[in-house]
Amino acid sequence: MADRKIISFENIKVACKNCSLATLCLPMGLAPEDVERLDAIVKRNRPLHRGDHLFRQDDSFHNLFVVKTGSVKTYAPSEDGGEQVLGFHLPGEIIGLDAILNNRHGCSAKVLETSAVCELPFDRLEDLAANVPSLQHQLYRLMSKEIADETHMLMLLGKKNAEERLAAFLLSLSNRFKRRGFSSTDFYLSMSRHEIGSYLGLAVETVSRLFTRFQDEGLVRVERKHIQIIDREGLESLVAGQRNHRDQQQAPS
């Protein structure tokens, strides 16, 4: 009891309308009274800690999750203990949309650092969306964004080499931090080299070597998890890939 009181500050729950993420998250584009209605179905839990799961593959699906602070990775575990990282999720990003299809989660989601996460019961959200066209539209938009983002990732994995992939990854993080009001040039990675490699389809050693190479070339400053972007344009021209190889031929009519 006393205990509960002491840590009660953890329970401070920011209403959607006061949340700094309102312009990236579901409330985007909603009228104030609709934000209130959305607010009424959001569950806000106490912070989770590194290693906690939001859900595991094959869990039955009830809620979508939105990162409020911290970061989360989604991944597909494989029998043999290995895993394929599918995504890293920053504040304002929605997790679980792939589970609507079968009412079952197709991947696992694990917290990378102490994080706050909002929970949205999907059936209630769906009901509300049917009555609030702008919310319905925003849901479609968010799902569309998820599709577009994954398409972008497919292109990265399909035809970019290792350095183009890592450069794109760093720029993606940089841009997302910026939108969230953090520095776009100075940030900390919450994931390991191993996880970055898994996400980008590269070996850990390759990731490590590229970080040192990028640093030697004056593109970034790397100190363990601490990243500083020194030459953003340099990274961008890497991604654009002057040195792009595969598949430059003409397609058939």
Partner DNA sequence: CGGCGGAATTGACGTGGATCAATTACGATC
Partner DNA sequence: GATCGTAATTGATCCACGTCAATTCCGCCG
146: tokens are 């998820």
CA distances from 91 to 87, 117, 250 (A): 13, 9, 41
Q: Which of 179, 177, 69, 176 is nearest to 113 (CA)?
A: 69
Torsion of CA 138, 139, 143, 148, to 10 degrees: 0
Residues 6+ positions from 197 with CB-CB distance below 8 Å? 203, 204, 206, 207
Beta bridge partners of 84: 76
**Per-residue x/- marks for DNA, 210-249, CB under 7 A?**
-xx---------x-xx-------------------xxx--
- Provide the token pair at 57: 């593959």
202 binds DNA (CB under 7 A): yes
239 binds, among a copy of itself, DNA, none (CB under 5 to 8 A by kind): none
Answer for which of 15, 203, 230, 231 binds DNA (CB under 7 A) is: 203
- Report in angstroms how near the CB of residue 165 gets to a copy of itself at its nearest: 10
Sign of the Cα torsion 54, 191, 232, 183 reads positive
Residue 93 beta carbon to DNA: minimum distance, rounded to whole angstroms: 22
- Min. distance of Cβ 42 from a copy of itself in angstroms? 19
Question: Pick from 144, 212, 228, 237: which binds a copy of itself (CB under 8 A)?
Answer: 144
65 binds, among DNA, a copy of itself, none (CB under 5 to 8 A by kind): none
| Piece of 85-93, 96-104, 171-179, 208-216 that binds DNA (CB under 7 A) | 208-216
Does the footprint of a copy of itself cover residue 140 (CB under 8 A)? yes
- Residues in contact with DNA by CB under 7 A are 161-163, 192-194, 201-209, 211-212, 222, 224-225, 245-247, 252
